[in-house]
Chain A
Amino acid sequence: MLEDLRYRTRALFRHNEVETELDEELRFHFDKQVEKYMRSGMTEEEAKRRTRIDFGGHEQVKEDCREARGTAFVELTLQDTKYAFRQLLTNKTFSLVMIVTLALSIGANSAIFSVINGVLLKRLPYSQPDRLVRIFLSSREYPKFPLNPFDFLDFRARNHSFSSIAAFTRGDVQLSGDGEPERLNGFGITSGYFRVLGLQPQLGREFDFQAEIPGNGLQVILSDRLWRSRFGADPNIIGRKVTMNMQPFTVIGVMPAGTEHPGNEYHAVAYGESVDVWWPFSFAGNPNQRGSHFIEGIGRLKDDVSHERARAELNAIMNQIAREHGSENSGWTVLVVPLYTELVGTSRQLLLVLLGSVGIVLLIACANAANLLMVRASTRQREIAVRLAMGAPRSRVVRQLLTESLLISFTGGALGLALAYGGVRALVSLLPADFPRAHDIHVSGPVLAFTLLVSFITGILFGLAPALQASRTDPKEGLQKSGRTSTASRNQGRLRNALVIAEVSLASVLLIGAGLMLRTFLNLIHLNPGFQQDHLLTASLSLPHAQYKTNEQTAQFFQRLTSSLNALPGVESAGAGSDLPWTGYDENAGGFTIEGKKQANQEYHARYHMATPGYFSAMGIPLLEGRFFTEADKKDAPQALIINHTMAEQYWPHEDVIGKRMTFQDVPKKDSDWMTIVGVVGDVKDQPNSPGAEPAFWWSEFQVAQSDMSIAIRTHSDPRQVIDGLRDAVHRLDPELAVADIKLMDSVVDTSVSTPRFTFVLVGLFAALAILLAAIGAYGVIAYTVSQRTSEFGLRVALGAQRSDLLRMVLFQSAKLAVPGTILGLLLALSLGRVMQNLIYGVNAADPAILFSVVLLVLTVALIASYVPARRASRSDPMVTLRAE
Chain B
Amino acid sequence: MTERIELPQGTLDLLILRTLLTGAQHGWAISERVQQVSSEVLSIQQGSLYPALHRLERRGWIKAHWGTSDNNRRAKYYELTRTGEKQLEQETEAWRKLTVAVAQVLEGA
Contact = CB atoms under 8 A, between A and B. Distances in A.
A493 B75 CA distance: 54
Contacts of B54: 65, 68-69
A159 interface: no
Nearest to A29: B28
A26 B50 contact: yes
Given A21-B76, A68-B58, A29 B51 contact: no
Contacts of A65: 50-51, 54
A45 interface: no
Contact of B28 (A3, A8, A33): A33
A733 to B, nearest CB: 91
A4 B46 CA distance: 23
B86 interface: no
B74 A24 contact: yes
B43 to A, nearest CB: 9
Contacts of A46: none
B104 interface: no
B59 interface: yes
Contact of A70 (B26, B47, B52, B58): B58
Contacts of B52: 68
A794 to B, nearest CB: 50
Contacts of B4: none
A61 B66 CA distance: 20
Interface residues on B, range: 20 to 34
B75 A7 contact: no
Contacts of A21: 66, 76
Contact of B58 (A8, A29, A56): A8
Contacts of B22: none
B73 A28 contact: yes
Interface in B18-77: 26-28, 32, 45-48, 50-55, 57-60, 66, 69, 73-76
Contacts of B58: 3-4, 7-8, 68-70
Nearest to B29: A32
A25 B50 contact: yes
Given A25-B27, A28-B28, A4 B50 contact: no
A69 B58 CA distance: 6
A31 B55 CA distance: 23
A81 B74 CA distance: 35
A28 B50 contact: no
Contact of B51 (A4, A31, A55, A67): A67
A805 interface: no
Contacts of B53: 68
Contact of B57 (A7, A26, A54, A61): A7
A746 interface: no
B47 A28 contact: no
Contacts of B57: 7
B102 to A, nearest CB: 28
B10 to A, nearest CB: 15
A637 B59 CA distance: 104
A28 B30 CA distance: 13
Interface string A35-69: 01000000000000000001111001100110111
Contacts of B48: 64
Interface string A466-480: 000000000000000
Given A8-B58, A56-B45, A25 B51 contact: no
- Best-buried of A4, A28, A55 by chain B (most CB within 10 Å): A28
B75 to A, nearest CB: 5
Contacts of B28: 28-29, 32-33
B51 A68 contact: yes
A8 B57 CA distance: 10
B75 A55 contact: no
Contacts of A67: 51
B17 to A, nearest CB: 15
Contact of B27 (A4, A29, A55, A56): A29
A64 B27 contact: no
Given A32-B28, A33-B28, A61 B60 contact: no
B87 to A, nearest CB: 13
A55 B26 CA distance: 17
B62 to A, nearest CB: 11
Given A65-B51, A68-B58, A28 B76 contact: yes
A61 B74 contact: no
Contacts of A28: 26-28, 69, 73-76
A4 B75 contact: no
B26 A64 contact: no
B27 A60 contact: no
Contacts of B26: 25, 28-29
Given A25-B76, A28-B28, A29-B28, A3 B59 contact: yes
Contact of A68 (B46, B55, B60, B74): B55
B69 A4 contact: no
Contacts of B47: 55-57, 60-61, 64
B61 to A, nearest CB: 9
Interface string A99-138: 0000000000000000000000000000000000000000
B46 A61 contact: yes
Contacts of A31: 73
Contacts of B32: 36
Nearest to A32: B28
Contact of A61 (B50, B69, B75, B76): B50
B60 A3 contact: yes
A365 to B, nearest CB: 41
A33 B30 CA distance: 12
A242 B58 CA distance: 77
Nearest to A11: B58
A4 B60 contact: yes
Contacts of B51: 61, 64-65, 67-68
A199 B54 CA distance: 62
A69 B51 CA distance: 8
A36 B43 CA distance: 15
Interface in A1-18: 3-4, 7-8
Contacts of B73: 28, 31
A56 B60 CA distance: 28
Contacts of A56: 45-47
Nearest to B61: A3
Contacts of A64: 47-48, 50-51
A25 B27 CA distance: 8
Given A4-B58, A8-B58, A61-B50, 13 more contacts: A3-B58, A4-B60, A7-B58, A7-B60, A25-B75, A26-B46, A28-B28, A54-B46, A56-B45, A60-B47, A64-B47, A64-B48, A67-B51
27 contacts: A3-B58, A3-B60, A4-B59, A7-B58, A21-B66, A25-B27, A25-B76, A26-B50, A28-B26, A28-B28, A28-B73, A28-B74, A28-B75, A29-B26, A29-B27, A29-B46, A29-B50, A36-B32, A56-B47, A61-B50, A64-B51, A65-B50, A67-B51, A68-B52, A69-B55, A69-B58, A70-B58
Interface of B: 26-28, 32, 45-48, 50-55, 57-60, 66, 69, 73-76
Pick the 3 closest A-B CB pairs, nearest first: A3-B60, A68-B54, A68-B51
